[in-house]
Structure 1
Amino acid sequence: MNATRDECLSDGVVVTPGVGLLWHDDPLDPAACYDHNLTTFLLLDSLLDAPTGSESGERDNEAFQALEAKLDLLIQLVTRLLGQQQPLPPEQTVRLAASGIEWQSPTPLPPLGWLELFLEPRLPRALKLPVENRQDELEPGVWRICSRFAFLEEEIRAHLEKWVFRRHRREIAHQRQGRS
């Protein structure tokens, strides 16, 4: 089934991050997937929301600062350990919205499956998202895949929308910095 670029991700904000991506066509347990994705978003939020010293108003409480430093170190060690156990797939630029993702594959794919998306290189833990695929061949050996996220729980979809919106804000801020 063909998918034009305009209809692939037509609803909402679209960002173009570099992400690690792995395709699977084996069955996915929805309950385990929900818990895994929720934990992954909580970890992503903790990485993205961690204030620096200047952002936090240079807190006076030394005990709080010491505890925060220990937690930061623990997060770094755990993510390094995870990265050693499962190396990240190569990063590729994609078009990502809360409704789906557009990416390229060297081969055509079945209509149903799931993706592992590694959204943050500092966190070697992927989201596991069931998808429905549409595709068209751009040139020999290059297929444009439009994967629509299917059967996502509302809470997971809300976290994904939040991540996409934050990423969009960062892309705009980066563009503005480049112009000034």
Structure 2
Amino acid sequence: MPTAIAIHADLPLAWHPDQAPATGDGVLLLRVLSLLEASPPHLDDEDGPDSLRWQALEARIDLCLQLIGQLLARGAPLPPVASVALNGESARWRAAAPIAPGERGALGLYLSPRIPQALLLPAVITGCSPDGDRWLVDAHFELHDDELQDWLDKTIFRRHRREIFDRKHPSHDD
């Protein structure tokens, strides 16, 4: 069952009409993102040999991700950033053009600058209304994969906790 927790973020976002995401890609992306966002607890404890090895490994992975991201960005730039409200069942964002309610497709969200790959979520547009010079679009996810739903919920929960922490500690360093 999807979580009722929602996050608000500014993310590169694109609507892909009539596109079905590849099975398994979303789960893999969310699993990798979870690993990258988690810091092994022993890294903060001390600067012993094991800690230094972990830090060196993480630095190498960061460098590889950065280089891969630069190569991918040469082929196709990321879509424009949009302010999005996201929960386990739906998303709401401001779009430059209207999208017809009832249209099916995939919502592409770029959740991390470290991974320039879109999380493609199958969805149906449930509403679209004018909002100043933009359009407020509502989409309901049509996830038929329990594992993808579980990883999406975990990601939203983790990001929600981060939002709360950031509000309570506005001057912390990442």
TM-score range, shorter chain: 0.7 to 0.9
The residue number in structure 2 matching 1:5 is: none
Distance 1:139 1:162, change over 3 A: closer
Q: How many residues were matched structurally? A: 168
Distance 1:167 1:149, change over 3 A: same
Q: Which moved more, 1:80-89 or 1:49-58?
A: 49-58
Selected match of 1:135 from 118, 127, 137: 127
Whole-angstrom CA distance in 1 between matches of 2:148 and 2:45: 28
Q: Which residue identity is paired with 1:34?
A: T
Whole-angstrom CA distance in 2 between matches of 1:27 and 1:54: 41
Distance 1:168 1:151, change over 3 A: closer
Distance 1:71 1:152, change over 3 A: same
Distance 1:154 1:105, change over 3 A: same
**2:49 is aligned with 1:60:** yes
Distance 1:53 1:77, change over 3 A: farther
State percent identity of aligned pairs: 31
**2:160 is aligned with 1:178:** no
Q: TM-score, with normalisation over the residues of structure 1?
A: 0.79
Measured against aligned partners, the alpha-carbon deviations of 1:35-55 in whole angstroms (never above 9, x if no partner) come to: 221221133123212449852
| Cα shift at 1:135 | 1.5
| Cα shift at 1:22 | 0.7
Whole-angstrom CA distance in 1 between matches of 2:114 and 2:59: 17
**2:104 is aligned with 1:115:** no
Q: What's the secondary structure of 1:94's corresponding residue?
A: strand
Selected match of 2:153 from 161, 169, 172: 161
Unaligned runs of 5+ in 1: 1-10
Q: Which residue identity is paired with 2:145?
A: E
Measured against aligned partners, the alpha-carbon deviations of 1:15-62 in whole angstroms (never above 9, x if no partner) come to: 10111111111342x5xx222212211331232124498526434235
On the 8 A contact 1:105/1:143 being kept in 2, the answer is: yes
The residue number in structure 1 matching 2:23 is: 34
Q: Which moved more, 1:134-143 or 1:16-25?
A: 134-143
Distance 1:59 1:155, change over 3 A: farther
Whole-angstrom CA distance in 1 between matches of 2:42 and 2:67: 21
| Cα shift at 1:109 | 1.5
The residue number in structure 2 matching 1:6 is: none
- CA RMSD between the two structures: 2.8
Whole-angstrom CA distance in 1 between matches of 2:85 and 2:118: 17
On the 8 A contact 1:16/1:94 being kept in 2, the answer is: yes
Where do 4+ consecutive residues of structure 1 move more than 6 Å? none
Q: Which residue identity is paired with 1:44?
A: L
Distance 1:123 1:149, change over 3 A: same
On the 8 A contact 1:108/1:135 being kept in 2, the answer is: no
Q: Which residue identity is paired with 2:38?
A: D
Q: Which residue identity is paired with 1:47?
A: L
